[in-house]
Chains A and B, each alone.
Chain A
Amino acid sequence: QVQLVESGGGVVQPGGSLRLSCEASGFSYSSYGMHWVRQGPGKGLEWVSFIWYDGSKTYYADSVKGRFTISRDNSKNTLSLEMNSLRDEDTAVYYCARGPHQPLNLDHILDLWGQGTLVTVSS
């Protein structure tokens, strides 16, 4: 079954840290770039970060640059998002999503999404 399953969400105090994970199955994970997208409570979708299929390049939204780190382990079919210096405005459901089939394809069509994991930043 082709799917993405996120985990690691929870409640954290402002300034704290959290690590999210996304486990992929049913497709050739190591051939795809991967994204994190978040959605604040009652809000729209916000792209957070992207990592190349081999982990060689990473990209971030300005709102998280310097605080979040995306990484992947292709031997375990997992994607991670390390989140530090968390702020109230980071409260959101975080989704992992499949990106382009690389390296030749750079079409960021997010065609497969996980169910999301909720991160709440609150004192």
Chain B
Amino acid sequence: EIVLTQSPATLSLSPGERATLSCRASQTIDIYLAWYQQKPGQAPRLLIYDASKRATGIPARFSGSGSGTDFTLTISSLEPEDFAVYYCYQRKTWPPLTFGGGTKVEIK
């Protein structure tokens, strides 16, 4: 099973600041990594797939990078609606498909 480790667990930032979230895989997953955003009481929403491709309707301030075992989600300038929990997810090797433990982006 591929384990995804996200850091930090919590990121405290102000609107307008840049957010950098990390995800590390326990073994190589090439580019088969996605990022999801989840707000309280809502389902996860796909942001990025295949490491760097934005999903339909996702604003350009969200970008993804990385390959192999190390990946990054960057939010260039935080909007009020971006404060949420973010999960990384791998589909390289399954079953099982696996998710990271999440990073909470909170208002400082």
Tally A residues with Cβ within 8 Å of B.
Answer: 20
- B99 & A109 in contact (Cβ 8 Å cutoff): no
- B101 & A44 in contact (Cβ 8 Å cutoff): yes
- A108 & B102 in contact (Cβ 8 Å cutoff): no
- B100 & A113 in contact (Cβ 8 Å cutoff): no
Q: Residues of A contacting B42 with CB < 8 Å?
A: 115
CA–CA, A61 and B34, complex, Å: 20
Chain B, interface size category, equals 20 to 34
A45 touches B (CB below 8 Å)? yes
State which of B43, B55, B97 has its C-beta within 8 Å of the C-beta of A108: B97
Within 17-68 of A, Cβ neighbours of B (below 8 Å) are at: 35, 44-47, 50, 59-62
Q: Residues of B contacting A60 with CB < 8 Å?
A: 95
- Most central of B55, B91, B102 by chain A CB within 10 Å: B91
- B95 & A61 in contact (Cβ 8 Å cutoff): yes
Contact mask B36-57 → A, CB, 8 Å, 1/0?
Answer: 1000001111100110000100
- Most central of A44, A59, A62, A115 by chain B CB within 10 Å: A44
Q: Chain A interface (Cβ within 8 Å of chain B)?
A: 35, 44-47, 50, 59-62, 95, 107-111, 113-116
Q: Chain B interface (Cβ within 8 Å of chain A)?
A: 34, 36, 42-46, 49-50, 55, 87, 89, 91, 94-102
Q: Which 5 A-B pairs have the closest CB atoms?
A: A113-B43, A108-B91, A47-B97, A45-B99, A59-B95
